[in-house]
Amino acid sequence: MSKPVIILLAMLLTFRTLPVTAQLPAKEGSLTIEHIELGYPCPNIPYYHFKADLRLPHPSIIEIEASVNGKTLRATDLRRTGEVEDVNRPPIADRPPSGYGMAQDVSLYDRPQVIGWVHWQPGGRYTIRVTVRLKRSVRDSSTDVLLTASRTLEAPAAPVFSPDWKSYKSVVVSETAGIDRVNEPVKVLLAFYPDEDHGLKREVRVVAFDPVSHGVTEVPSQVFDVQRSLEKDDLAPDKNGKPTRQVPLWLPTVTANLVFLANVPARSSRIYFVYYNNEKAQDIFYRTDLHVQGEAPGLQVDNSQFTITLNPNSGHLDQLTLKSRPDAPLFHRMETNGAIHWNPDLYTPPRPWTHTSDWSPPAHVRSLTGPILAKSEVWGPLPEVKEVDASLRYEFYPGVPYFISSTSMRVNEPLNCLALRNAEIVFKRELITHAAWYDAIRDSVITYDVKNMADLTDLKMEADVPWITFYNEDARIGFAGIQLEYANTGLESDPRLLNPFFYITAGPWIYWARGLSHSYLSSNMQQVIPVMKGSLFAEKWAYLIYSPEKGKTPYASVIDWQKKLTHPLRVQVVEEVDPRVSKTLEEVYMNDGKSGWEGRRNKK
């Protein structure tokens, strides 16, 4: 039996043709390469590649294998010649390498197209060899016919990134909201093999591909949160000496988060290459306007838009200044800890009302600094209520007037509460004149004069309010919350929430908050509401610092940013299949359960 061949996924792909002279029509029993090219990446085929249009002597069930300069490709893609898909968008269909063992079907191919990765260098010569197995059934047979054809091509002259980096992954970034994106942060998790890791923080480079000139440009990037899982699968025989399995269930893996700045025109897709595997790569540090000073948790963070100070005791937002309005800083400093950002929190009397902003210090503190991303993370038990764990994370980026806040709260033992809240933002009353928010019930934006608002008046809105803002129309300074994620769930039981709502309250301060269960503000304010063990509350906000533009509504820029931030760039990672990947993959089933593939005739 011949060496294993790769079953190829039927995909709808197309690319601009670079002419190569075709063979004459095939004689019976021969394989014809009608057209072949070395192609540039496009969003539909986001890697340097070859593409070959084949003609078979007759329609057949097929398996195909391709090699480049004598090296067999671990996986390639297959489609039917003539099928058309937008080359400027990511492909729809995909099949993982484990599909090798289950992709056989009774489809007949007559004029297939084969596409494969080629790490070509400008002007290099590459011999592409294609082998097709013609089959009468899905199973290999002595009657199968092997046909082979090859061509030698010269690569285009356009420059590529340095060959010192042996490997790359493609990241296809797509814009869907109709907004041009300039230097927008893109975050993606990537996986590597241990022998490809020579210090990922040092060696990774991100390169933008120009779809017009075919040139490449290195862009600022940052690697963080590298995790190594190095345990190997034990393939030793069982106690009877029989093999436990033929292939490992897993391979040692290194994962890392990557963040970079992307430029993507409205409603288009662009390719970014992540180059790695260069043991001689030098350290590089990209210069941006993002800077961090101080010692965690009391950091000061600057970019070209704002200066933000975190409380030195709790690590919560303490003061912010928009650099275009340096005379109008925003702060609180009126009650207890004095921070701007207070939650998560709860009130379970007779114990005092407790907030994460009351930490002094938090049980756990962690920070990250870099040119593209700076993070502050604090977490631990709530003060005075050790049955509850909570966390707060801030993420800061260069060049943008917003930062991201993520909070979570986990209840480890049942509690009886008068208040359970999240997302509270508090300012000194005199700093704010108006509030505005989108009201889902009225399907309109509500603007409210909070400067003349009676003390302890509550303005209520829906719990999932998409955005809300405080602003000072005289000082022309505003602060907005744009809701990105909001989730309440439970392990042992469903979350028990009493009439959840979002609201604004005024006193010597002005604040907004989300009441998850908040009987303290209800008609019967002394009724306690049980919060069950295993309850989990989490949310993510973008907080925007802005100056209302003259001639526009005071919240116009909030609506613009809300559209952009709730429609982030979409990301797809495309990777070459490594030779060490097995052509089949075993699964471990409970109680010797059925796989579902038993007796399937065609495995289609």
pLDDT tens digits, one per residue of 297-316 = 999 999 999 999 999 999 99
Q: Is residue 414 part of a domain?
A: yes
252's CB contacts (< 8 A; 6+ apart) are 193, 194, 228, 229, 230, 231, 232
Q: How confident is the model at residue 335 (pLDDT cuts 50, 70, 90)?
A: confident
List the single range of 23-27, 332-336, 494-498 with lowest mean pLDDT.
Answer: 23-27
Cα–Cα distance for residue pair 495/529, rounded to 1 Å = 11
- For residue 98, which phi and psi values (nearest 5 degrees)? -65, -15
pLDDT of residue 459: 97
Compute how many other C-beta atoms are within 10 angstroms of the C-beta atom of residue 213.
Answer: 10
Q: How confident is the model at residue 599 (pLDDT cuts 50, 70, 90)?
A: low
pLDDT of residue 103: 47
DSSP per-residue codes, 217-236:
EEE-EEEEEEEEE-PPP---
Helix H or strand E encompassing 270: strand 269-276
| Structure-model confidence comparison of residues 20 and 15, the more confident one | 20
Q: Is residue 93 part of a domain?
A: yes
pLDDT at 602 over 70: no
* Residue 330 and residue 268 share a domain: no
List the single range of 12-16, 33-37, 145-149, 438-442 with lowest mean pLDDT.
Answer: 12-16
pLDDT at 577 over 50: yes
* Residue 239 and residue 201 share a domain: yes
pLDDT tens digits, one per residue of 220-231 = 999 999 999 999
Q: What would the mean pLDDT of 419-440 be, rounded to a whole number?
A: 97
DSSP state, 558? H
pLDDT at 24 over 80: no
Q: Is residue 568 part of a domain?
A: no
Q: Which of 252, 276, 300 is the last residue of a domain?
A: 276
pLDDT at 596 over 80: no
Q: How confident is the model at residue 585 (pLDDT cuts 50, 70, 90)?
A: confident
Q: What would the mean pLDDT of 370-385 be, rounded to a whole number?
A: 97
Domain with residue 229: its CATH number is: 2.60.40
pLDDT tens digits, one per residue of 9-19 = 232 222 233 33
Cα–Cα distance for residue pair 138/161, rounded to 1 Å = 42
Let me know: does 275 contact 207? Beta carbons within 8 Å. Answer: yes
pLDDT of residue 7: 33
pLDDT at 22 over 60: no
pLDDT tens digits, one per residue of 264-287 = 999 999 999 999 999 999 999 999
Q: Is residue 562 part of a domain?
A: no
pLDDT of residue 3: 36
pLDDT at 25 over 50: no
Q: Is residue 540 part of a domain?
A: yes
* Residue 397 and residue 325 share a domain: yes
* Residue 364 and residue 509 share a domain: yes
pLDDT at 170 over 80: yes
The percentage of residues in the chain with a pLDDT greater than 70, rounded to a whole number, is 92
The alpha-carbon radius of gyration of the chain (Å, integer) is: 30
Compute how many other C-beta atoms are within 10 angstroms of the C-beta atom of residue 299.
Answer: 22
* Residue 390 and residue 351 share a domain: yes
pLDDT of residue 372: 98
In the chain, DSSP finds a helix count (H) and a strand count (E) of 2, 39
CA 335 to chain centre: 38
pLDDT at 509 over 60: yes
* Residue 38 and residue 146 share a domain: yes
Cα–Cα distance for residue pair 469/115, rounded to 1 Å = 52
- Tokens 């057949």 found at: 60
Cα–Cα distance for residue pair 31/10, rounded to 1 Å = 19
Exposure string for 457-483, b = 16+ CB within 10 A, e = fewer: eebebebebebbbbbbeebbbbbbbbb
Q: Which of 127, 154, 181 is the last residue of a domain?
A: 154
Domains contained in the chain, number: 3
Q: Is residue 577 part of a domain?
A: no
The percentage of residues in the chain with a pLDDT greater than 90, rounded to a whole number, is 77
pLDDT at 424 over 80: yes
Q: What would the mean pLDDT of 415-421 be, rounded to a whole number?
A: 96
pLDDT tens digits, one per residue of 539-558 = 999 999 999 999 899 999 99
- Asked if residue 361 has a cis previous peptide bond (ω within 30° of 0), the answer is yes
Q: Which of 250, 276, 302 is the last residue of a domain?
A: 276
Cα–Cα distance for residue pair 472/436, rounded to 1 Å = 11
* Residue 445 and residue 310 share a domain: yes
pLDDT at 6 over 50: no
Residue range(s) defining the domain that contains residue 491: 291-554
DSSP state, 4? P
Q: By three-state DSSP, how is residue 556 classified? A: helix
pLDDT of residue 435: 98
Cα–Cα distance for residue pair 271/210, rounded to 1 Å = 8
Let me know: does 372 contact 220? Beta carbons within 8 Å. Answer: yes
* Residue 240 and residue 212 share a domain: yes
pLDDT tens digits, one per residue of 71-115 = 999 888 888 877 777 899 998 877 777 665 444 566 788 999 999
Q: Is residue 570 part of a domain?
A: no
DSSP per-residue codes, 160-189:
-S-TTS-EEEEEEEE--SS--EEEEEEEEE
Domain with residue 23: its CATH number is: 2.60.40.10
Domain with residue 444: its CATH number is: 2.70.98.10
* Closest C-alpha to 210, from 40, 376, 57, 373: 40
| Structure-model confidence comparison of residues 235 and 280, the more confident one | 280
Q: What would the mean pLDDT of 372-380 be, rounded to a whole number?
A: 98
pLDDT of residue 518: 92
pLDDT of residue 104: 54
H helices of 407-513, in order, are: none
pLDDT tens digits, one per residue of 124-151 = 999 999 999 898 887 778 888 999 999 9
pLDDT of residue 232: 93
* Residue 399 and residue 297 share a domain: yes
Joined together, the tokens standing for residue 460 give 């209520």
Q: Is residue 301 part of a domain?
A: yes
Compute how many other C-beta atoms are within 10 angstroms of the C-beta atom of residue 70.
Answer: 7
pLDDT of residue 604: 43
Let me know: does 223 contact 286? Beta carbons within 8 Å. Answer: no
pLDDT of residue 101: 45
* Residue 236 and residue 88 share a domain: no
Whether the model pTM is above 0.85? yes
* Residue 544 and residue 496 share a domain: yes
H helices of 188-275, in order, are: 200-203
* Residue 337 and residue 236 share a domain: no
